[in-house]
Structure 1
Amino acid sequence: MSASAALPLLFLDVDGTLLPYGRTRPPADLEERSAWQHVGNPQLAQVDRAHGPRLLALRCQPVWATAWMADANEVIAPLLGLPSWPVAELPEAPGEDHGDLLHWKTRPLVEAATGRPFVWVDDEITGLDRAWVARHHPGRALLHRDNPVTGLTTADFAVLGSWLRAPAAR
């Protein structure tokens, strides 16, 4: 088993996590502004570039778990200075809110973890998802819900780092 295979997995969402819905910070300079316009998604101006080094410092094997699928490697990773990461195989995202049902990513992510410890960071995780994972996943799991208005914060990274450094996470 390779060293990375022994690390806990980090399943990472994009919308509402790396792309917060509530910030209004404009790009800092003309060069950045041009990059955002080129990509065609004004929400990309909300990406906190400091998240790249923070994510790279976590002791885990990151995996995109987002409706962006492989586009996360084409658009988000370069903005954050990240290498290309594996992408979780997910079904197509449902078109409407199913707030009272199990999240559409829950089952596929547990299957992808294959019993390994994992962290799932998403702004849509509910108690139902946590209960289902507790019943169906034999390894340790942290389902961490971030605030979609702010996206990931320093406090969120502290929680993730603490869980990943815990002896049972290795």
Structure 2
Amino acid sequence: MTERTERPLLFLDVDGTLLPLGGARIPSSPQGWVDWQGTSNPQLAKIDAGHVPRLLALPCELIWATAWMEYANEVLSPLLGLPRFPVAELPDPPQEYEPDALNWKTRALVRAAAGRPFIWVDDEITDLDHAWVSAHHGGHALLHRVDSTSGLTRADFGVVDDWLLERSRDRRRG
């Protein structure tokens, strides 16, 4: 499959990625999610507002890839001064994290990328996800796992920047 010349996609998770967990537990009940995905979530104070200009400067199309779904646009975008971003169509998240299973987002994100180069930044990416994407995605992909206790760091942005720079060089050569 030949890659298109469109800008790469960046699928961005929220919990553990943009929103560092630092030991916090994600709720398991539907009512807990209502509170977690609202402006009253005390964890929101941990988001580094310095990420906003870095995210907006990336030469890619940012897409929310999170269980927050549209709440990312309703809560996080206004809080951080971000524009509304598209939201990846994801299946319902599992009730419990399964460390030895394919991530619940993997298939949906490869489908959404439709052959375009993409970056997926998440705190639950495993070797199984890497192998599945390599076998099922016809284009370049960077699956970058973030430490959930600290969330995105300068080093994480460096990895993303380097990958995007290489894709830019590929497009100019091709």
* TM-score, length basis structure 2: 0.84
User: Which residues of 2 match residues 104-143 of structure 1 at below 5 A?
Assistant: 104-143=104-143
Partner of 2:29 in structure 1? Answer: none
Q: Distance in 1 between matches of 2:22 and 2:162?
A: 27
What is the match of residue 96 of structure 2?
96
Deviation sequence 1:36-76 (CA, Å, 0-9, x none) = xx821001011100111110011100000000000001111
Could you report, residue by residue, the CA deviation over 1:5-48 in whole angstroms, capped at 9, with x for unpaired residues? 81000000000001101189xxxxxxxxxxxxx82100101110
Structure 1 SS opposite 2:143 = strand
SS in 2 for 1:39: coil
**Residue equivalent to 2:52:** 52
- Tell me if structure 2 keeps the 8 A contact 1:49–1:79: no
Residues 140 and 169, structure 1, Cα contact 8 Å, conserved in 2: no
Structure 2 SS opposite 1:115: coil
- Computed over aligned residues only, the root mean square deviation of the Cα atoms, in angstroms, reads 1.7
Alignment partner of 2:74: what SS?
Answer: helix
Counterpart of 1:8?
A: 8
Equivalent residue, structure 2, for 1:29: none
Q: CA deviation at 1:127?
A: 0.3
Deviates more, 1:71-80 or 1:132-141: 71-80
Aligned in 2, Cα 1:64/1:54: closer, same or farther, shift over 3 Å?
same
- For 1:148 and 1:95, locate their aligned partners in 2 and report how far apart those are by CA, in whole Å: 18
1:10 partner SS: strand
Aligned residue identity for 1:133:
V
Task: State the Cα distance separating 1:163 from its structure 2 match.
Answer: 0.4
In the alignment, structure 1 residue 82 sits paired with structure 2 residue 82: yes
* Unmatched 5+ stretches in structure 1: 25-37
Contact 1:17 1:146 survives alignment (8 Å)? yes
Letter in 1 for 2:43: Q
Task: Look up the match of 1:27.
Answer: none
Instruction: Confirm or deny that 1:43 pairs with 2:43.
Output: yes
Structure 1: distance between partners of 2:142 and 2:101: 19
Letter paired with 1:145 = R
Given that residues 51 and 80 in structure 1 are in contact (C-alpha distance below 8 angstroms), is that contact kept between their aligned partners in structure 2?
A: no
1: distance between equivalents of 2:53 and 2:95? 33
Return structure 1 stretches of 4+ with deviation > 2 angstroms: none
Say if 1:169 and 1:132 are closer, same or farther in 2 by CA, change over 3 A.
Answer: farther
How many percent of aligned residue pairs carry the same amino acid? 63
Q: Conserved in 2, the CA contact under 8 Å of 1:117 and 1:169? A: no
What is residue 35 of structure 1 aligned with on the other side?
none
